Amino acid sequence: MVEVHLWSGLRSLTGGQQVVEVKAKTTGELLRALVHAHPQLQAPIDAGVSIAIDGRVIATGLTEPIPEGSEVYLMQRLRGG
Amino acid sequence: MALDDRKSDFTFVGTRPNRPDGLDKVTGRAKFGADISAPGMLHGAVLRSPHAHARIVKIDTSKAEAHKDVKAVVTRADFAEVPFKPGLEGEFWNVLENVMAGEKALYDGHAVAAIAASSALAARDALKLIEVEYDVLSHVTDVDKAMAPDAPVIREGAADYSVPEGMHPNVVRYHESGHGDVEAGFSEADLVTEDSFVTEATHQGYIEPHACLGMLGNDGKGELWCTTQGHWIAQKTCAALLGIETSQLRVTASEIGGGFGGKTTVFIEPVALALSRKANRPVKIVMTRSEVFRATGPTSSASMDIKIGMKKDGTITAAQGVFRLQGGAFPGAPGDMTAMCAFAPYNLTNVKQIGYDVMSNRPKQAAYRAPGAPMGAFAVESVIDELCNKLGLDPVDVRLKNAAHEGTKASYGPTYERIGLVETLEAAKAHPHYTAPLKPGQGRGISCGFWFNHGGETSVSLALSEDGSAQLMVGTPDIGGSRASMALMAAEVLGIPYENIRVTVADTASLGYNDVSHGSRVTYASGLATIKAAKHAVERLCERAATKWGIPTDAVKWEDGCAVPSGPNAGDFDPMPLADITADMGSTGGPISGHFEATPEGAGVSFGTHIVDAEVDPETGKTCVTRYTVIQDAGKAIHPTYVEGQYQGGAAQGIGWALNEEYVYGEDGRLQNSIFLDYRIPVASDLPMIDTVIVEVPNPGHPFGVRGVGETGIVPPLAAIANAVSNAAGVRMKQLPMSPPRILAALKGNG
């Protein structure tokens, strides 16, 4: 199981939960599992998210592995200039 | 992307060879956006709204169409039907609406129609023949006023899921993040300071205006030449807006005369293509400077509230920020980025940040180096400076005491990998600038800054020639010296001289997809792909050498540009240079090439610390920056001269943003200063020598340790200059730019 830390603005979509536990081995699985657990998370995921695994920010990749025991944060997708 | 082959000992990387585009640029041979023409070419011109907010009742183009020099007129009806969706999800709709107004003109300068004629002058003259009937609506250009209950609504239904109920429809996105308990943290502080700050919109100020040449036939096949930071996104967007297949439009990026984030989208390109399709002739459009200011993408303006608690020893106990960013008449102002970056340099137990994306009747904001981050740093680092002054603490020591490091929980959530902020602060403290005496009337300012950096989709192809030289094709326009750094990285892997490698920015038909040159991603991502492509070619070279020697491929390794036997049982052969292998490659298996395509996901975040001395004339309010030092972590500087140039460029643009540059809107909502005479960017005589210190804390996500350097350099300047000016003037400056009238008003207000 992976503990996914959300940004606090998403608590209104998860019944107040800021940490959601899901079963996932990759970033893509993780996003699907989050929506399965909390369907309202589909909107922020569609708007664009990045996933930080042990501090490394995965901007868009859905096939990145999530090692057991990793620290996982959902972040708003980054934009640059 | 896991990397197990990191390199730290270099032959070519870290040297300073001549730039490959130098001769072309100093002789005028380089072809920029406006430097191209085609047989039968027409010239385009765009009719723009004189109103900040108006319903378009009727557009009558009949008189223009009847003119002998006019070959085509387009309005919104000549573009594809792109369905409206809220927020960034509907970005194609937003871009279309910005490129050519639909039901309403949303800002002064918004395009409403365009003409193609036989000359540029005829096109501009014929614009006067288009009759537009407007129903002028009330407007708003200020971010705080745009959020007020009585503000005119720019567009109903543009807000996304994130906006709390009860907010004005102009608030279209909301971000909130942080950790700990800020109220508990403030109660632990010996001193809590709370203040509000404002910054105006600025423009990237690239010297080359937007320019393009478009050709599109009725068969849906087209060609586009344009100045852009990303020709694949131009291809994708133009194709969507014109309703053609992406692959049928070939886009070539010209040499680029500056972009800084402002050329990451399209403005005139779809218009030129629509005119061309209608006239069945190539159409060239070149923006005037006034059009660039009025109708491309400046930064957001910002209004911010900061509250920070500190103990007497300098420990920050809690930090809180509210950042309201105005991004023009479309969603996209980076309030979330401002919020996530503002406190990122610090190791905080209690932190909370809120960001708002607010629409107003201004042009659609575009990125500008680290979009959103400089404004937040200005507000946060000003309050930290104020706390240091009040508590009698050294500003570098306080930042060192609170500095984020490997293992720190970032203000935006995750735990940092290896980062280099502490190293930049230690370098600042050790730099002679920091302890140099100040003259009367001068003040010194310090600021840290943070930016994420980015990877992005990347394709690179490398082909070897028979004579042993190499051609490298990349898809990221060279906005900061990337052809030089790519050649250095390829030289490092291949073991052939830098001068033997020619790097070309390929067009969209010659290479796989590439994201825009933005997010400080090019040296990181195209560099990583170049290294991998070169390694791919080296594998082929080793295979050929093995065949020639009659030994297994795994018994050959690559050293200093030669295949050599690997291990005692591989046989005794003289090293075989690359050129000896390529000389007969046609008959030993065919051309030798390497390529790599991926979305690298290991861009390391970066930090910088700036030291600024400023002098304020109390009689005129004029500020002079007398000394400037930039210290920034590059991970690994591939071509140090270009890295230093990026640092100096960030400081120079920051000086303009801090002291003089601003969008000035009149009561009528029209831009008052749309030329360089009235919008004052710094000139050489405004700038001191900008010293640079390159710190190198390798990024674990890149084979050579590269971190992006293009954006972080503009994050600290606003704050560092504001702190220097505030300390010189003896009054806290809370509004940018700190132009002479504002300095005088602040001095007067301070008695």
Domain parsing of chain A, residue ranges = 2-76
Rounded (10°) angle between helices B527-549 and B482-494: 30
Which helix (H) or strand (E) covers residue B66, if one does?
A: helix B62-66
Cross-chain Cβ contact B371/A81 below 8 Å: yes
Give buried/exposed letters for B28-62 (b at 16+ CB in 10 A, else e): eebebbbbbebeebbbbbbbbbbbbbbebeebebe
Residue B96, domain CATH: 3.90.1170.50
Assigned token pair, B127: 């614009």
Whether residues B350 and B336 share a domain: the answer is yes
| Residues B521 and B454 sit within 8 Å (Cβ to Cβ) | yes
For residue B98, give the nearest of B253, B226, B246, B210 by alpha carbon. Answer: B210
User: Domain boundary at B276, B295, B314, which?
Assistant: B295
C-alpha B612/C-alpha B386 separation (Å) is: 16
From residue B596, alpha-carbon distances to B343, B362, B530, B749 in Å are 37, 41, 7, 61
Contact B181/A at CB under 8 A: no
Q: What is the pLDDT of residues B285-341, one digit of tens each?
A: 999 999 999 999 999 999 999 999 999 999 999 999 999 999 999 999 999 999 999
Whether residues B114 and B243 share a domain: the answer is yes
Predicted pLDDT at B568? 79
Q: Measure in Å the smallest separation between the Cα of A39 and chain B Cα atoms.
A: 13
| Residues B363 and B105 sit within 8 Å (Cβ to Cβ) | no
User: Domain boundary at B245, B260, B295, which?
Assistant: B295
pLDDT band (50, 70, 90) for residue A80:
low
Whether residue B171 lies inside any domain: the answer is no
User: What is the extent of the structural domain holding B73?
Assistant: 42-137+204-295
CA-nearest residue of chain B to A52? B414
CA-nearest residue of chain A to B406? A55
Cβ neighbors of B513 (< 8 A, separation 6 or more) are B232, B457, B459, B475
Predicted pLDDT at B570? 85
Whether residues B582 and B671 share a domain: the answer is no
Q: Which residues of B touch A71 (CB under 8 A)?
A: 414-415
Cross-chain Cβ contact A78/B337 below 8 Å: yes
Predicted pLDDT at B1? 45
Q: What is the pLDDT of residues A4-23, one digit of tens each?
A: 999 999 999 999 999 999 99
Cross-chain Cβ contact B711/A81 below 8 Å: yes
Whether residue B714 lies inside any domain: the answer is yes
Cβ neighbors of B86 (< 8 A, separation 6 or more) are B157, B158, B159, B160, B172, B331
Q: Measure in Å the smallest separation between the Cα of A11 and chain B Cα atoms.
A: 10
Whether residue B13 lies inside any domain: the answer is no
C-alpha B260/C-alpha B252 separation (Å) is: 19
Q: Would you call A51 exposed, middle or buried from its count of C-beta atoms within 10 A (0-12, 13-18, 19+)?
A: buried
Question: What 8-state DSSP symbol labels residue B3?
Answer: -
Q: What is the pLDDT of residues B90-128, one digit of tens each?
A: 899 999 999 999 999 999 999 999 999 999 999 999 999
Whether residues B359 and B389 share a domain: the answer is yes
Q: What is the pLDDT of residues B546-584, one digit of tens each?
A: 999 999 999 999 999 999 999 877 889 999 999 999 999
pLDDT band (50, 70, 90) for residue B4:
low
C-alpha B6/C-alpha B134 separation (Å) is: 62
Q: Which residues of A touch B87 (CB under 8 A)?
A: 47
Whether residue B469 lies inside any domain: the answer is yes
3-state SS assignment for residue B695: strand
Could you give the number of structural domains in chain B?
3
Cross-chain Cβ contact A52/B161 below 8 Å: no
Predicted pLDDT at A79? 73
Query: Which residues in A have their CB inside 8 Å of a CB on B?
Result: 5, 7-9, 12-13, 40, 43-44, 46-48, 52, 54-61, 64, 71, 73, 75-76, 78-81
Residue B558, domain CATH: 3.30.365.10
Q: First and final CA of chain B: distance in angstroms? A: 59
Is the four-CA dihedral B400, B405, B407, B412 of positive or negative sign? positive
Is the four-CA dihedral B156, B160, B163, B165 of positive or negative sign? positive
CA-nearest residue of chain A to B714? A81
Contact B455/A at CB under 8 A: yes
Cross-chain Cβ contact B601/A58 below 8 Å: yes
C-alpha A34/C-alpha A11 separation (Å) is: 13
Cross-chain Cβ contact A61/B602 below 8 Å: no
DSSP string, B88-148: GGGHHHHHHHHHS--SEE-STT-EEEEEEESSHHHHHHHHTT-EEEEEE------HHHHHS
Q: Which residues of B touch A81 (CB under 8 A)?
A: 260-262, 264, 366-371, 518-519, 711
* Domain spanning A2-76, CATH class: alpha beta
C-alpha B724/C-alpha B444 separation (Å) is: 4
User: What is the average per-residue pLDDT within B157-167?
Assistant: 94
Q: What is the pLDDT of residues A40-66, one digit of tens each?
A: 999 999 989 999 999 999 988 999 999
Whether residues B435 and B459 share a domain: the answer is no
Cross-chain Cβ contact B161/A13 below 8 Å: yes
Whether residues B441 and B465 share a domain: the answer is no
Q: Measure in Å the smallest separation between the Cα of A79 and chain B Cα atoms.
A: 7
Whether residues B574 and B646 share a domain: the answer is no
- The pLDDT mean for chain B works out to 96
Which helix (H) or strand (E) covers residue B644, if one does?
A: helix B640-659
Percent of chain B surpassing pLDDT 90? 97
Cross-chain Cβ contact B519/A40 below 8 Å: no
Phi and psi at residue B180, to the nearest 5°? 80, -165
Candidates B351, B365, B369, B601: best to mutate against A (most CBs of A within 10 A) is B601
Q: What is the pLDDT of residues B514-545, one digit of tens each?
A: 999 999 999 999 999 999 999 999 999 999 99
C-alpha B307/C-alpha B57 separation (Å) is: 48
Whether residue B734 lies inside any domain: the answer is yes
Cross-chain Cβ contact B518/A60 below 8 Å: no
| Residues B682 and B660 sit within 8 Å (Cβ to Cβ) | yes
Predicted pLDDT at B2? 43
Q: What is the pLDDT of residues B664-720, one digit of tens each?
A: 999 999 999 999 999 999 999 999 999 999 999 999 999 999 999 999 999 999 999
In B452-590, the DSSP E strands lie at 458-464, 470-474, 501-505, 556-559, 562-565, 576-577
Q: Residue B43 pLDDT > 80, yes or no?
A: yes
Q: What is the distance, to the nearest Å, from the Cα of residue B530 to the centroid of all Cα atoms in its chain?
A: 22
Whether residue B501 lies inside any domain: the answer is yes
Whether residue B274 lies inside any domain: the answer is yes
Cβ neighbors of A81 (< 8 A, separation 6 or more) are B260, B261, B262, B264, B366, B367, B368, B369, B370, B371, B518, B519, B711
Q: What is the pLDDT of residues B175-210, one digit of tens each?
A: 999 999 999 999 999 999 999 999 999 999 999 999
Whether residue B713 lies inside any domain: the answer is yes
Q: Which residues of A touch B336 (CB under 8 A)?
A: 76
Q: Which residues of B touch A64 (CB under 8 A)?
A: 601
Percent of chain B surpassing pLDDT 70? 99
Assigned token pair, B601: 């996901």
Q: Measure in Å the smallest separation between the Cα of B603 and chain A Cα atoms.
A: 8
Q: Which residues of B touch A47 (CB under 8 A)?
A: 87-89, 160-162
Q: Measure in Å the smallest separation between the Cα of B684 and chain A Cα atoms.
A: 24
Whether residues B449 and B461 share a domain: the answer is no
Contact B599/A at CB under 8 A: yes
C-alpha B457/C-alpha B522 separation (Å) is: 11
DSSP string, B248-300: GEEEEE---S--TTTTSS-SSHHHHHHHHHHHTS-EEEE--HHHHHHHS--PP
From residue B358, alpha-carbon distances to A43, B87, B266, B452, B659 in Å are 19, 11, 22, 23, 25
Whether residues B352 and B212 share a domain: the answer is no
Q: What is the pLDDT of residues B230-275, one digit of tens each?
A: 999 999 999 999 999 999 999 999 999 999 999 999 999 999 999 9
User: What is the average per-residue pLDDT within B436-444?
Assistant: 97
Q: What is the ipTM of this complex?
A: 0.95
| Residues B601 and B618 sit within 8 Å (Cβ to Cβ) | no
Q: Residue B656 pLDDT > 80, yes or no?
A: yes
Q: What is the distance, to the nearest Å, from the Cα of residue B413 to the centroid of all Cα atoms in its chain?
A: 24
C-alpha B604/C-alpha B611 separation (Å) is: 24
Q: Which residues of B touch A39 (CB under 8 A)?
A: none
Contact B711/A at CB under 8 A: yes
Residue that is written with structure tokens 């969507």 in the block: B240
User: Domain boundary at B269, B295, B321, which?
Assistant: B295
Q: Give the CA angle between residues A17, A79, B597 to the nearest 5°.
A: 105
Whether residues B444 and B498 share a domain: the answer is no
Whether residues B435 and B502 share a domain: the answer is no
Q: Which residues of A touch B455 (CB under 8 A)?
A: 59
Cross-chain Cβ contact A81/B519 below 8 Å: yes
Cross-chain Cβ contact B599/A78 below 8 Å: no
Which helix (H) or strand (E) covers residue B543, if one does?
A: helix B527-549
Cross-chain Cβ contact A80/B367 below 8 Å: yes
Whether residues B320 and B265 share a domain: the answer is no
